[in-house]
Amino acid sequence: MSEHIAEVKGLTKKFDGFTAVDDLSFAIGRGQIYGFLGPNGAGKSTTIRMLLGLIHPTAGEVLINGEPFNRNRKQALQQIGAIVERPDMYKYLSAWDNLRIFARLSNKHITKERMHEVIELVGLQGREHDKVRAYSQGMKQRLGIAIALVHDPELLILDEPTNGLDPQGIAEMRELIRTLGTHMGKTILISSHLLYEIEQVATNMMILHKGKKLVDGKVSELLNPNETIFEVLILPDDGITDKLAATGWGQYIAEGGNSSTLLFRMHPRKMPTLNKYLVEEKVHVLEIRARHSLEEYFLSLTNEEDAGAGAV
């Protein structure tokens, strides 16, 4: 058995001379929550559609469990569950009837017990017999995941699963993805343009920009915790920056602060000690929040890429 559930080798897709995906290669290991990160238009959905055989690549190949996708498409698809953008379903039918239809289409024997299991897993128990047209967008997304999971696939592909969700829906989706990956051992490919969401759930990630891979690896290794930016909101204090600069904390001060917003670049473990120091110095701390290191990392990579392209 291959150590990778999915492998992409030299994948390229061109549309009328426009290259949407450019010689892309990556591999998804078993048990990973693989973040597929990039701005809108980066080529994420095009790549996912090629992974699922919905469109044919101009060049390159996709392997599922070490076997070429095109050699045994039916077997490959039985190992994958997916939501591509917003899930399509029959809105005039109940969630249960939708799930039953898609279960039949999977060509596997799926019991009622299994259907109840996935309904409960995504948190729709008690509402499974309501018509889908009465569902919120978050409930539709969760039903889409139930449909993708009902045949018990090895690989779950989620394309922008938090699109259109409110903050509560986003938090619920994040927790569901964690449960599927951490507690149920599912391998998940999740694409998003929301950097914070990828940082919260992914074990591995790839950054895609203009159809090209910029970086690929473990989140813990790619992101340097020492580079975390902390934003400390205080009651205005004109002298605090100079006072901090004269102490050991001066080395952590980042550019861009002012009398009511202090910026520090440091490891998260140092923040409690800094907060204690500020309180002892009678600085009125109103709020401390981290600027997500993934955002800083992403912007630095894409800016370098754009600068390099402009220099050609």
Half-sphere exposure (CA, 13 Å, Cβ side) for 18?
8
Per residue in 136-150, pLDDT (tens digit) is: 988 999 999 999 999
225-294 CATH fold: Alpha-Beta Plaits (3.30.70)
Buried residues in 11-35 as b, exposed as e (16+ CB within 10 A): bbbeeeeeebbbebebbbebebbbb
- Whole-number Å distance between alpha carbons of 44 and 6: 15
- Whole-number Å distance between alpha carbons of 56 and 60: 10
Per-residue model confidence (pLDDT) at position 115: 96
More confident site: 299 or 92 = 92
Per-residue model confidence (pLDDT) at position 80: 94
- Whole-number Å distance between alpha carbons of 99 and 119: 9
Question: CATH assignment of 4-219, given 1.10.3470.10, 3.40.50.300, 3.40.640.10, 1.10.1060.10?
Answer: 3.40.50.300
Per-residue model confidence (pLDDT) at position 292: 56
Contact between residue 64 and residue 80 where contact means Cβ atoms under 8 Å apart: yes
Per residue in 164-186, pLDDT (tens digit) is: 888 888 888 889 999 999 888 89
Residue ranges in 122-239 assigned as alpha helix (H): 137-149, 167-178, 195-201, 219-222
Per-residue model confidence (pLDDT) at position 312: 35
Overall average pLDDT of the 7-30 stretch: 95
Mean pLDDT lowest for which of 99-113, 196-210, 221-235? 221-235
Per-residue model confidence (pLDDT) at position 311: 41
Contact between residue 76 and residue 69 where contact means Cβ atoms under 8 Å apart: yes
Domain with CATH 3.30.70 in the chain: 225-294
More confident site: 69 or 88 = 69
Other C-beta atoms closer than 10 Å to the C-beta of 81 total: 25
DSSP codes of every residue in 236-290 = --TTHHHHHHTSGGGGGBPTT--SSEEEEE--GGGHHHHHHHHHHTT--EEEEEE
Q: Could you tell me the pLDDT band of residue 301, with boundaries at 50, 70 and 90? A: low
Contact between residue 253 and residue 263 where contact means Cβ atoms under 8 Å apart: yes
Bridge partners for 33 per DSSP? 188
- Whole-number Å distance between alpha carbons of 17 and 145: 35
Per-residue model confidence (pLDDT) at position 225: 65
Q: Could you tell me the pLDDT band of residue 289, with boundaries at 50, 70 and 90? A: confident
Q: Which residues contact 277 (CB under 8 A, 6 or more apart)?
A: 249
Per residue in 210-225, pLDDT (tens digit) is: 899 988 988 877 776 6
